[in-house]
Amino acid sequence: MLITRFAHQYSAAVALLLASLLALGAGSAVASVAVKTIPGSDRAVTRVEISGTIERGDAQRVQAFLAGLPKGPRIVIELHSSGGSIEEALRLGRHIHASRIGTAVTGAGRECLSACALTFLAGRDTAGRADRVKGRQSQVGFHAFRRIVPDKEFMVTDMHEAIASTQQTLLAIADYLSAVDAGIEFMSMMLEKPWTSMTYLANDKAPALGVEIVD
């Protein structure tokens, strides 16, 4: 049943993208993420905050920052972002997963949405087990992606290219979810809503999906 629902949602995602091609103009420039360590008393854990919009080059910047941290303590990344570049979020997530770094979205009003939610799913501990923590008053949200396109008249060839690009992006996300040991349920959640809306990870459903809930 989940596979059938995913197939329907995949078709809907392509249709939504084609509609958006006629409505979207070029995106405005936005700032990249800010990265900093969070002071704490636990010497066994180094907590790093990543906040802001995820943009091209951020994965490399974060990797360089993490490489400069003292060796030894386990690293947990606190995420607070409304999203950004999917491609960059996947790059960052793959590095987090390969480096066995935990992820967290905790604290009242904190949120990790859209592309950020994909990065969040990469968290795991030093033993290789899932290590994704969500606070009860925090939000992790998923929705369909959108393409930022030039303001111009679109031809049939543009539509075909858009469909091909959408298929490539969906396949890249599916491959990423498999690589970071996150279920296809998250793809389904992502495709439930258009990019103008959001599906939030419910606290009561999170543990079954490998996400720990804390107060």
The DSSP line for 139-190 is EEEE--------SS---HHHHHHHHHHHHHHHHHHHHHHHHTT--THHHHHH
pLDDT of the residue at 29: 42
The total of other beta-carbon atoms located within 10 Å of residue 61's CB is 16
Distance CA 13, CA 199 (A): 15
pLDDT of the residue at 2: 47
Please, what sign has the CA dihedral across residues 48, 54, 58, 63? Answer: positive
pLDDT tens digit sequence for 163-204: 666 778 888 999 999 999 998 899 888 888 777 889 999 999
40 band by pLDDT with thresholds 50, 70 and 90: confident
pLDDT of the residue at 73: 87
Buried (b) or exposed (e) across 180-207, using 16+ Cβ within 10 A? bebeeebbbbbbbbbbeebbebeeeebe
Provide the β-strand partners of residue 203. Answer: none
Distance CA 83, CA 48 (A): 18
pLDDT tens digit sequence for 75-114: 999 999 999 999 999 999 999 999 999 999 999 999 999 9
pLDDT tens digit sequence for 24-34: 333 334 568 99
- Please tell me which residue, 71 or 205, carries the higher pLDDT value: 205
What residue segments make up the domains of the chain, in order of their start?
Answer: 2-214
With a CB cutoff of 8 Å and minimum separation 6, the contacts of 171 are none
- Please tell me which residue, 189 or 207, carries the higher pLDDT value: 207
CATH 3.40.50.300, applies to 2-214: no
With a CB cutoff of 8 Å and minimum separation 6, the contacts of 154 are 21, 22
